Amino acid sequence: MTIRNFEPHTVRLCQYVIASADMYYTELEQRDVFLKHDGRGNIHIWGEIVGRGPSTKVDLCEIFLEYGLYCCSWCSMAEALYHMQDFGEQLGCSLAKYLTENSHLLTSPDPTVRALEHIFETMGACFSTEHSGSGTQLVVTDCPLEKTAERSGLRTIELAHHGINAMCRSLIRAMNPNLDLAISAPDSPEFIFTIVMPVPA
């Protein structure tokens, strides 16, 4: 997935097909995913239909819910999970590339933890981090995924949760493949990531 410049401080991460419960979409209707940093150390991720104005903008939670609906519109649940995982992993790799190329956004003792924090900050989620001698645990206690699903009518919460987990896992492994990463179960109401530093031989 190639990142290209869109405007100053903004890059296009990817593009995906959108679907709706009340109309049929072809590949002509697509939404682009963009990332922008605000010059104060924060990033923002959103989707929009280019050329259709700001009214088409959606946040990161809605991106995953929307893509989940598209997957459900043409394949089985097992296949939808596969395609959602692939989507999340590609997005995570693109985020890792951007953040490592803009290392001033990772001003933290642990850049991988800061990268995860960036993701949930752009979602508007509440989270906490706990540090120990062997690693760090990041617990997201108030992710707006369910509220976004209720507001938008996009009820593919399980698929979206799976995609967000895949994005975060891919992000961490792309930044440091030597880390051991544990992720909460798909049916967990919270996102919990435990990053464990490798033990020297």
**pTM to 2 decimals?**
0.88
Can you list the domains of the chain with their CATH numbers?
4-196 (3.30.1380)
Decide if pLDDT at 66 tops 90: yes
pLDDT of residue 80: 94
The whole-number average pLDDT for the span 52-66 is 90
As a whole number, the mean pLDDT across the chain is 86
Residue pair 139/127 in contact (Cβ under 8 Å)? The answer is yes
| pLDDT tens-digit map of 111-162 | 999 999 999 999 999 999 988 777 899 999 889 999 999 999 998 999 999 9
| pLDDT tens-digit map of 161-181 | 999 999 999 999 999 998 888
Decide if pLDDT at 46 tops 80: yes
Decide if pLDDT at 58 tops 90: yes
